[in-house]
Amino acid sequence: MGMPNTPALTVDCVIYDPKGRVLLIRRKNGPFQGAFALPGGFVDIGETVEAACRREVREETGIEVSYLALVGVYSDPARDPRGHTASAVFLAKLPVAAPPIAGDDAAAAEWVADWRTEQLAFDHAQILEDAEKILLSRA
């Protein structure tokens, strides 16, 4: 029996600095070219979602993350106009805000104090709201 046709597996990462700013990229490519987004991308064959998350953050922002907490899995079939994806989303808090360096699929990367004033790609506004609820519940 062959493998079933299933959604593509992706990861996204919500990263906060000590000032409460969130690390966002500007998408270099479509969909949502030029919009802010969380660092993330597709999981490679043979890679865990945690390793994919760390790799994507490093490739897109130059930032290294170690400890990751699961925010949730986002799988609305309409979340990505390219096709059905399921994203494992992680949360990381950095002790120091290193300056991000855009790379790979990111046209820019920056620490954003008020993400609510920005147009975000995909379902990333909902993801950020959910991540903030987790942070507040732990405070």
Q: How far apart are CA 3 and CA 135, in angstroms?
A: 38
Q: How far apart are CA 105 and CA 92, in angstroms?
A: 20
pLDDT of the residue at 1: 77
Number of alpha helices (DSSP H) and beta strands (DSSP E) in the chain = 2, 7
pLDDT of the residue at 30: 94
pLDDT of the residue at 104: 80
CB 58 within 8 A of CB 33: no
Q: Is 32 exposed, middle or buried (0-12, 13-18, 19+ CB in 10 A)?
A: middle
Q: How is domain 12-138 classified at the CATH fold level?
A: Nucleoside Triphosphate Pyrophosphohydrolase (3.90.79)
Side chain identity, residue 131: A
* Entry pTM: 0.95
Picking from 87, 91, 57, 62, the residue whose alpha carbon sits closest to that of residue 74 is: 87
- Residuewise pLDDT in 10s, the chain (139 residues): 788 899 999 999 999 999 999 999 999 999 999 999 999 999 999 999 999 999 999 999 999 999 999 999 999 999 999 999 999 999 999 999 899 999 888 999 999 999 999 999 999 999 999 999 998 887 6
Domain borders along the chain are 12-138
